Amino acid sequence: MKKKIRLATCVSAALLCGSLGVMNYYRAEGKPSFSVFSRASHEDTETWTAEEFFLKDTLREGYAALMQDTGSSGIGGVYIGSGTLIEQFADYDPAVLEHNISAVQDFAKEHKLNLVLVPTASQTEKRYLPLFAAGVNEKKLLESIREQIPDAVFADLLSTMASSGGYCYRTDPHWNASGAKVGYEVICRDILKHKASDFRFQTKSSSYRGPLLERTGAAWIEADEIEEIIPAHPVQLTVKYSDGTVSHSLYDENALETEDMYGYYLSAAEGKTEIETSVNTERNAVIICDDYALILVPYLTQEYSRLTIVRTGSYTGSLSTVLKDEGNTDIFMVMSLKNFCNEEIEFR
């Protein structure tokens, strides 16, 4: 019996390891060139073996499932929740936050600023988190930011979004069309002070496999839908992107053929984007934002004749020149709370 167990253990272990090694050599792609006396070439081979492993997806999925079942603290900064992936927001840079608060407060003293800070999925999708998941107390953090920027008008998204769920993609850290709709309704309630318009959604793709899937390997998580946001009263519009491209739609169908389907909204516009609408409200807005605002824009087109979208990270021009344009009635800053705490904002 003992001899049989010894034989079974040794033979099965050697066969398993050896066959995986041989099969990987023949089935994996992009073998690196090999040089006998180059250490770098040996390191490339090691990296290639891990990155191009022929059973990589299956093994990663199994590993992710095991991590979920053992109550792990997540993989690659992502919690594997119940049916959804939730990016962790466990930390931020206090120096960056302090700088941003100070910059926004100075800005708000000179301009009437509406501040929309979008809570992360770890707050809005709390019910799906693993049992002992922990992160930054976003409620406390938002209250602290609010106290330190008394001159800005806040849209209180957290209290509305925390009561329900399903406001974020399952495989992408951004809020989805439903989440942005809640954001729009809160803006109407807290800032514009009127009733929100009606919208319906039309699914354009049901196969969006966002970046969180790649980071965790949790392939069993259902793919996301990308939805077109259709207003009850459609408007004509002209979108002028920073590269000079002009479009008459807020959506980029080509993005649905790519991996980053979130680019469907405004072609993941960078720099400055100008949108003229057929809405005759005589109200124009400047939106200083990160990419969270792109999915909110379809809702705001119901409210404004002109929208100027300025991306904080990529716009290199002068913001004060944009603001000096005549006719701007509202200024919004729309950012993810996580980005607000970690990415330095400069008002040029």
Partner 1 sequence: MDHAGLLFILTFLPVYMLGCALCPAKYRNIMLMIFSIFYIWYGSPLFVFAMAAAAVFSYVSGAMISRYRKKNRPQALRLLRITAGIYLVLLFVMKFLGPILTGLRSMGLSFLPDHFIQVPPGFTFLILACISYPADICFNRCDPERSAAQLLGWILHFPKLLCGPFVAKKEFTPGKDSRGVNIYSGLLRFAAGLFKKTVIAAKAYTLFMTVSTLQAGSSVLSAWTGAFAALTALYFELSGYADMAIGLSRMAGYVLPEEFRMPLASRDMKEFTERWSVTLQNWFRTYVPFGNTSVRTVTAILLTGLFYRPSLNGLAWGIILACTALLSKLIPERIPAVKRILLWAALLFSSVFILSPSFADALHYTAMMFFNASSFADALTGSLVFMNLIPAAALCAAVIPVLRPLFRRILNSDAAWIIPPAVILLFVFAVAAAVSGASMPFIFLRSL
Binding interface with partner 1 (CB under 8 A): 1-3, 5-10, 12-18, 20-21, 24, 36-39, 42, 45-46, 49-51, 53, 55-56, 59-60, 62-64, 66, 70-73, 75-76, 90-94, 130-134, 136-137, 217
Place of tokens 């939730």: 86
- Give the chain as a 3 state SS string: CHHHHHHHHHHHHHHHHHHHHHHHHHHCCCCCCCCCCCHHHHHHHHHHHHHCCCCHHHHHHHHHHHHHHCCCCCECCEEECCCCEEECCCCCCHHHHHHHHHHHHHHHHHCCEEEEEECCHHHHCHHHCCCCCCCCCHHHHHHHHHHHCCCCEECCHHHHHCCCCCCECCCCCCECHHHHHHHHHHHHHHHHCCCCCCEEEEEEEEEECCHHHHHHCCCCCCCEEEEEEEECCCCCEEEECCCCCEECCCECHHHHHCCCHHHHEHHHCCCEEEEEECCCCCCEEEEEECHHHHHCHHHHCCCCCEEEEEECCCCCCCHHHHHHCCCEEEEEEEEEHHHHHHCCCCCC
Task: Give whichever of 94 and 244 is closer to partner 1, judged by the CB atom.
Answer: 94
CB of 32 to partner 1, least distance (A): 12
Q: How far is the CB of 344 from partner 1 (least distance, A)?
A: 13
Cβ 66 to partner 1, closest distance in Å? Answer: 8
Closest separation between CB of residue 45 and partner 1, Å?
7
Residue whose entry in the numeric block shows the structure tokens 């206090």: 94
Closer residue to partner 1 (CB): 93 or 222: 93
Nearest-approach distance from CB 302 to partner 1, in angstroms: 39
Identify which of residues 134 and 235 has a Cβ nearer to partner 1 in the complex: 134
Quick one: 136 or 239, whose CB is closer to partner 1?
A: 136
Query: Which has the closest alpha carbon to 121: 74, 191, 189, 70?
Result: 74
Which lies closer to partner 1 via its Cβ, residue 55 or residue 223? 55
Nearest distance from residue 58's CB to partner 1, in Å? 9
Residue 50 or 232: the one with the smaller Cβ distance to partner 1 is 50
Q: How far is the CB of 137 from partner 1 (least distance, A)?
A: 8
**62/234 with CB nearer partner 1:** 62
Q: How far is the CB of 46 from partner 1 (least distance, A)?
A: 5
Place of tokens 């290199």: 316
C-beta closer to partner 1: residue 10 or 235: 10
C-alpha closest to that of 117 among 134, 135, 101, 128: 101
Tell the smallest beta-carbon distance from residue 47 to partner 1 (Å). 10
Half-sphere exposure of 225 (CA within 13 A, CB side): 11
Indicate if the alpha-carbon torsion angle 340, 87, 256, 187 is positive or negative. Answer: negative
Give the nearer residue to partner 1 in terms of CB position, either 2 or 248. 2
